Amino acid sequence: MQLIAMVVASPNPVRNEKILAIDLPMIDLSADRSEVGKLIVRACEEYGFFKVINHGVPEGVIAEMEQESVNFFEKPLAEKQRAGPANPFGYGCKNIGFNGDMGEVEFLLLHTNPLSIAQRSKSISNDPSKFGSAMNNYIRAVRELACEILDLMAEGLWVRDPSYFSKMIRDVENDSFFRINHYPSCCNNNTTRVGFGEHSDPQILTILRSNDVGGLQISPDHGVWIPVAPDSAAFCVNVGDVLQAMTNGRFVSVRHRALSYSSQSRMSMAYFGAPALQARVSAPPEMVTTNRPSLYRPFTWAEYKATAYSLSLGDNRLDLFINCKDDDHKKLLD
Ligand code: GA4
pLDDT of residue 59: 97
HSE on the CB side for 106, CA within 13 Å? 18
Q: Is the pLDDT of residue 6 over 80?
A: no
- If you write DSSP's letter for every residue of 281-309 in order, what string do you get? E---GGG--SSS---B--EEHHHHHHHHH
Q: Chain-wide mean pLDDT for the chain?
A: 89
Give yes or no for residue 256 CB within 6 A of ligand 1: no
CB 181 within 8 A of CB 268: yes
188 C-alpha vs ligand 1 centroid, how far in Å? 30
Percent of the chain residues topping a pLDDT of 90: 75
pLDDT of residue 163: 98
β-strands 26-28, 49-53 pairing: parallel
User: Hey, what domains does the chain have and what are their CATH numbers?
Assistant: 26-283 (2.60.120.330), 297-334 (no CATH)
Least confident of 44-53, 125-134, 253-262: 253-262
Q: Is the pLDDT of residue 330 over 80?
A: no
Atom 10, ligand 1: which residue's CA is nearest?
A: 88
* Ligand 1 atom nearest 203 alpha carbon: 23
Quick check: helix, strand or coil at residue 122? helix
Residue 181: which of 237, 258, 121 has the closest Cα?
Answer: 258
Tens digit of each residue's pLDDT (9 = 90 or more) over 169-223: 999 999 999 999 999 887 667 788 888 889 999 999 999 999 999 999 999 888 8
CB burial of residue 71 (10 Å; 0-12, 13-18, 19+): middle
| C-alpha pair distances (Å), 278 with each of 87, 146, 303 | 21, 21, 9
Q: Is the pLDDT of residue 21 over 70?
A: no
pLDDT of residue 61: 98
Q: Given pLDDT bands bounded at 50, 70 and 90, which one contains residue 334?
A: low
pLDDT of residue 222: 84
* Residue 266 annotated in active site: yes
- pTM above 0.85? yes
Distance CA 5, CA 21 (A): 7
Q: Is the pLDDT of residue 116 over 50?
A: yes
Q: Is the pLDDT of residue 284 over 50?
A: yes
pLDDT of residue 2: 44
Give yes or no for residue 308 CB within 6 A of ligand 1: yes
pLDDT of residue 13: 58
Quick check: helix, strand or coil at residue 119? helix
Quick check: helix, strand or coil at residue 63? helix
pLDDT of residue 72: 98
Q: Given pLDDT bands bounded at 50, 70 and 90, which one contains residue 17?
A: very low
Atom 2, ligand 1: which residue's CA is nearest?
A: 201
Quick check: helix, strand or coil at residue 33? helix
Tens digit of each residue's pLDDT (9 = 90 or more) over 55-101: 999 999 999 999 999 999 999 999 999 999 999 999 998 654 444 44
pLDDT of residue 315: 79
| C-alpha pair distances (Å), 1 with each of 42, 53, 232, 250 | 11, 16, 19, 18
CB 179 within 8 A of CB 270: yes
Q: What is the DSSP code (8-state) at residue 217? A: E
pLDDT of residue 98: 47
194 or 281: whose pLDDT is higher? 281
Give yes or no for residue 90 CB within 6 A of ligand 1: no
The number of helices, as runs of H, and strands, as runs of E, in the chain is 9, 15
